[in-house]
Structure 1
Amino acid sequence: MDMSHSLVEIERSDWAQLRDLYVHKRTESVGYQCLKNFISWIDQEPSESIKLLSLDGDWKTDGTFIIVANIGGCLKHVYFNTLTENLERLKIALNCLEGKSGDYLLFGYSAHLIPALENFAKRLTGKPLLPGEQEETVWYHASKKLVDSFTINVPEGIKLADLVIENAEQINEIWPHRAPGSVDFVRRLILYNVSVGAFDGAGNLIAWCLRLPLGSLGLLHVTDGQKRKGLGSLLVRYMSKKLAELGDEALAPVVVKNVASRSMFEKLGFRQIDSVYWSAV
């Protein structure tokens, strides 16, 4: 850890000012919408364990920040970004994070930020962060014009409704990235963010789409026996319109290996604008 520098917590009264520095980064994974998301969470529940940190107290110069969020699961989430192409201050800031191997999940960082992780990951794990240890996703975006063109035709016998906390167990149980305590993360997504579920005539939840802390779509799933009916596409279009109503961009990370999901997003007209990564360190 770099002892000549330190991380200083950014006062909550300054979070909106930091967010607005990223107003031109509305489609980045950890940018305007991510900061807006966490401001909303704290407004709804001030006791949430979410900290915004700056290097040596200076975030106004180049927008360098780190978010450490203990929001469910066995790992603390770390989100980070900077407005400068020179990643040196971000690299130093990350290296100031205290911890040990197995403490953190680096959440949804853009490909261009990977060089900033080198020293931090090596200090925690004792080795460089290898490409195979980073979960790569395609970062998709739908333009406002495209979202405006989306139609919502709900099949007969299907009802779309907001998810409720009681749905979290079912969603977490099927989630490929579930881990000890991850159900609490899912509960927070339902509690604080917009979401949608598709329910059959008997009231059974058969498909869903949530919103990640990045501000993007996430955890999209259609249960077995309900696939190939267009429900995934329907929920993506529905949620994209919900985000547009909030003045936000329609964004989505899709695991590179998930060819079927990538094909669906691209068929809808979503365009890849970045590669975004997750890694546990």
Structure 2
Amino acid sequence: MATGLTTITDLAELRALQELHLADWPKHCVAYFWLDNYLRWLEKDPLTKYLTFYTLNGDWRRDGLFILVHRYQLFFSNLSRRKTPELLSALTLLDWSNGYKVSAIHETHHRIYKQLLAEHRLVMDREMKTIMYRLPCEQAKALQLSCPPGYHLDDVRLEHAGLINGLWSARHPGSLKLIEMLIEKNVNVGLYEEATGQLCAWCLRLQSGFLGALEVLETHQRRGLGLVVAAAIAKRIANGLEHDVTALVNLNNKAACKVFDKLEFTLLGGEHYVWSMCLAKTGGVLNWPANT
């Protein structure tokens, strides 16, 4: 039988695919949140650009296998994880010529990804291993939140995208546009100084559902502001979306670990994820226009 990538365009099918990833919750929550995020984006804007959902031979029902490509970003998953010859076949059929930023690769899928890079002589620019924290929805709703005197909480504004991108440890070619889309389309929280109106701390929700770009200006650090914005966005996600709250943290980011420990997030043992930048075959850089 011929093997080929097929696209999933029917929204009802995509929602059914998403529901498959509720099995053994929260085991497949990352894939669930990817699909949930982009289905929400499609509801707001049915003409969302550069967004494609793939599966292999149209058979997503058997193992929940899908590949999601948005701009230069690549997400992939299946339910069986270790039994993944079909996933390798599907990834091999993708066009890798322009490179990808591959996000939240589960450690059991990472071997497949590394095998693909080796077989196709693809070059990896950088890679980061992370640990996963989770706070169940009801616990997030119950978080106690107190904004310190002299500050107020509000949405992050689009005008702050450059500042956020400039301080983001995971910034990369094309990430300014990504930050703009996250500000416009996803839950976020900013902490502003009353006297000046300056944005001092912030946190965004990434497409994978994870809390991301959690940052406090250097001039305002050591005041507990990171804890405030993390608690605030966790409550917004839980109350607004009825979702658990998750975060991926770099193994060396002790400050972020302390924040999630204080908020009583649970560190999920053995749940390691990797994000990776695969360079383009031509030119050696991620080949994507930064503003599209």
Question: Whole-Å Cα distance in 1 between the matches of residues 173 and 105 of structure 2?
Answer: 23
Unaligned runs of 5+ in 1: 71-75
Q: Give the Å deviation of 1:264.
A: 2.0
Question: Whole-Å Cα distance in 1 between the matches of residues 52 and 113 of structure 2?
Answer: 19
One-letter amino acid of the structure 1 residue matched with residue 54 of structure 2: L
Of residues 112, 119, 139, the one that matches 2:108 is: 112
What is the aligned partner in structure 1 of residue 263 from structure 2? Answer: 268
Secondary structure of 1:214's partner? coil
8 Å Cα contact 1:99/1:124 also seen in 2: no
One-letter amino acid of the structure 1 residue matched with residue 18 of structure 2: R
What is the aligned partner in structure 1 of residue 88 from structure 2? Answer: 91
Percent of paired sites with the same residue? 29
RMSD: 1.9
TM-score (norm 1): 0.90
Question: Whole-Å Cα distance in 2 between the matches of residues 278 and 61 of structure 1?
Answer: 26
8 Å Cα contact 1:26/1:33 also seen in 2: no
Q: Give the Å deviation of 1:29.
A: 5.5
Alignment of 1:166-181 (within 5 A): 166-181=159-174
Secondary structure of 1:33's partner? helix
| More deviation, 166-175/118-127 | 118-127
Aligned pair 1:198/2:195, yes or no?
Answer: no
One-letter amino acid of the structure 1 residue matched with residue 146 of structure 2: N
One-letter amino acid of the structure 1 residue matched with residue 235 of structure 2: K
Question: Whole-Å Cα distance in 2 between the matches of residues 97 and 25 of structure 1?
Answer: 29
8 Å Cα contact 1:209/1:221 also seen in 2: yes
Secondary structure of 1:191's partner? helix
Q: Give the Å deviation of 1:242.
A: 0.9
8 Å Cα contact 1:25/1:31 also seen in 2: no
Q: Give the Å deviation of 1:46.
A: 2.1
Aligned pair 1:12/2:10, yes or no?
Answer: yes
Alignment of 1:1-150 (within 5 A): 4-13=2-11, 14-24=13-23, 27=26, 28=28, 30-48=30-48, 49-70=50-71, 76-85=72-81, 86-100=83-97, 103-126=99-122, 133-150=126-143
Q: Give the Å deviation of 1:25.
A: 5.6
8 Å Cα contact 1:168/1:186 also seen in 2: yes
Secondary structure of 2:171's partner? coil
Of residues 226, 229, 233, the one that matches 1:232 is: 226
Secondary structure of 1:134's partner? strand
Q: Give the Å deviation of 1:78.
A: 0.7
8 Å Cα contact 1:7/1:53 also seen in 2: yes
Secondary structure of 1:196's partner? strand
Question: Whole-Å Cα distance in 1 between the matches of residues 119 and 224 of structure 2?
Answer: 46
Q: Give the Å deviation of 1:56.
A: 1.1
Question: Whole-Å Cα distance in 2 between the matches of residues 103 and 167 of structure 1?
Answer: 28
Secondary structure of 2:180's partner? helix
Q: Give the Å deviation of 1:224.
A: 0.8
Q: Per the alignment, do residues 183 and 26 of structure 1 end up closer, same or farther by CA in structure 2, a change over 3 Å counting?
A: farther
Q: Per the alignment, do residues 137 and 47 of structure 1 end up closer, same or farther by CA in structure 2, a change over 3 Å counting?
A: same
TM-score (norm 2): 0.87
What is the aligned partner in structure 1 of residue 277 from structure 2? Answer: 280
Q: Per the alignment, do residues 169 and 25 of structure 1 end up closer, same or farther by CA in structure 2, a change over 3 Å counting?
A: farther
Q: Give the Å deviation of 1:94.
A: 0.9
Q: Give the Å deviation of 1:263.
A: 2.0
Q: Give the Å deviation of 1:120.
A: 2.0
Of residues 231, 252, 269, the one that matches 2:247 is: 252
Aligned residues: 270
One-letter amino acid of the structure 2 residue matched with residue 137 of structure 1: T
Secondary structure of 2:220's partner? coil
Q: Per the alignment, do residues 213 and 166 of structure 1 end up closer, same or farther by CA in structure 2, a change over 3 Å counting?
A: same
Q: Per the alignment, do residues 32 and 275 of structure 1 end up closer, same or farther by CA in structure 2, a change over 3 Å counting?
A: same
